[in-house]
């Protein structure tokens, strides 16, 4: 086989390895306008509880059929609880609550801006020494969030400001989970932990939904079953299984940059489905946050190039 044929085959193989991640990004981007639709029928807490409850059942079934189902070990349980309570439960509950006040496209951009928290927290909590490129990435992300939030502080209604605060809280919850995982690198959670993470998320959400909102409206559950089928089994259970399997074999930089497609798609699809205006502040903010994500992903390579220079 010639060198050109080998290169072509390698390129095709590399592209195929990215296809599952691309599919996950598309599904997660579409999840934001879909969640907005579901909130017309049920409360945020019930929506979140149904999402992770259905995801727990589906992932149990899928991993059982794959013969990969097992209980977490003693070392895995703390991380499973952290992911379930923070990355899944708290993030989703706060994001859904915020969707009552903030358009889904803008919400997806703010909620995914975890870079504003991760690098400072890794320095404070883990004692890491971020490079100047990582601090620059954080500065880009802060600037992007500032551009997006500034109009709310300059005259938007109070509930919009509150919704943006909830989204920043959602990104903080996810970031704390990331820091917990980073601080325990010797324990690696795989796709076989997803049922237990979803179950951990479901339990408090279900309790809070019952306490705050009472029993759900059965008629509403019938109305939103297509939404729940998308959000729970597809956008949570199956997609998380795919992403965890794929990202373990892909470079972290590639994964980080690919995930930037989630808020971009969320914004574009929300503009189509909900006629959300893609304003100048939102576009500039997203571009700055995207620049932060790309800089973070490329920081190790940039540092090596600087050292050589």
Mean of the per-residue pLDDT values for the chain?
A: 85
Q: Whole-model pTM? A: 0.85
pLDDT tens readout for residues 133-161: 888 888 998 998 888 887 766 666 788 88
Q: Above 50 in pLDDT, residue 3?
A: no
For residue 4, name the pLDDT band (cuts at 50, 70, 90): very low
Token pair in block for residue 75: 């070392």
Q: Where are the domains of the chain?
A: 26-308
Lowest mean pLDDT among 51-60, 135-144, 248-257, 273-282: 248-257
| Contact of 20 with 246, CB cutoff 8 Å | yes
Lowest mean pLDDT among 101-115, 146-160, 182-196, 212-226: 146-160
- Distances in Å between the Cα of 31 and the Cα atoms of 223, 229, 269 are 17, 11, 9
* pLDDT at residue number 40: 87
* pLDDT at residue number 254: 66
Distance CA 281, CA 5 (A): 47
For 147, residues 6+ apart whose C-beta sits below 8 A from its C-beta are 281, 284, 285, 288
Token pair in block for residue 206: 């279900």
* pLDDT at residue number 15: 54
- Distances in Å between the Cα of 125 and the Cα atoms of 90, 122, 171, 217, 219 are 20, 5, 17, 44, 47
* pLDDT at residue number 7: 43
Q: What percent of the chain has a predicted confidence (pLDDT) above 90?
A: 36
Question: Which stretch, 208-212, 221-225, 261-265, 272-276, has highest mean pLDDT?
Answer: 208-212
Q: What percent of the chain has a predicted confidence (pLDDT) above 70?
A: 88
Higher pLDDT among residues 103 and 246, named by residue: 103
For residue 6, name the pLDDT band (cuts at 50, 70, 90): very low
Angle between helices 252-259 and 3-38 (to 10 degrees): 40
pLDDT tens readout for residues 13-43: 455 667 788 888 899 999 999 999 999 889 9
* pLDDT at residue number 9: 46
| Contact of 37 with 223, CB cutoff 8 Å | no
Q: Above 90 in pLDDT, residue 252?
A: no
* pLDDT at residue number 155: 64
pLDDT (mean) for 81-94:
94
Cα 253–Cα 192–Cα 92 angle in degrees, nearest 5: 65
């Amino acid at each position: 086989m010639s060198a050109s044929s080998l290169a072509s085959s390698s390129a095709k193989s590399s592209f195929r390895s990215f296809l599952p991640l691309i599919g996950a990004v598309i599904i997660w981007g579409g999840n934001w306008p879909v969640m907005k639709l579901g909130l017309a029928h049920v409360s945020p807490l019930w929506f979140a509880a149904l999402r992770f409850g259905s995801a727990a059942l589906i992932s149990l079934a899928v991993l059982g059929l794959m013969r990969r189902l097992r209980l977490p070990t003693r070392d895995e349980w703390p991380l499973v609880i952290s992911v379930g309570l923070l990355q899944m439960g708290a993030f989703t509950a706060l994001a859904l609550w915020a969707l009552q006040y903030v358009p889904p496209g803008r919400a997806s951009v703010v909620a995914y801006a975890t870079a504003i928290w991760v690098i400072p927290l890794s320095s404070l909590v883990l004692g890491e020494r971020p490079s100047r490129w990582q601090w620059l990435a954080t500065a880009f992300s802060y600037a992007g969030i500032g551009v997006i939030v500034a109009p709310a502080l300059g005259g938007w209604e109070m509930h919009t400001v509150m919704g943006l605060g909830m989204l920043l809280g959602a990104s903080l919850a996810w970031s704390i989970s990331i820091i917990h995982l980073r601080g325990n690198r010797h324990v690696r959670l795989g796709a076989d932990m997803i049922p237990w993470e979803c179950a951990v998320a479901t339990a408090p959400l279900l309790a809070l939904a019952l306490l705050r909102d009472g029993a759900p409206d059965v008629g509403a559950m019938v109305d939103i079953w297509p939404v729940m089928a998308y959000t729970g089994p597809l956008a949570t259970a199956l997609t998380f299984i795919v992403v965890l399997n794929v990202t373990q074999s892909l470079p972290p930089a590639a994964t980080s940059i690919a995930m930037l497609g989630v808020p971009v798609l969320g914004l574009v699809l929300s503009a189509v489905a909900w006629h959300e205006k893609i304003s100048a502040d939102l576009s500039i903010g997203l571009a700055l946050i995207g620049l932060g994500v790309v800089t973070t992903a490329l920081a190790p390579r940039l540092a090596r190039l600087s050292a050589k220079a």
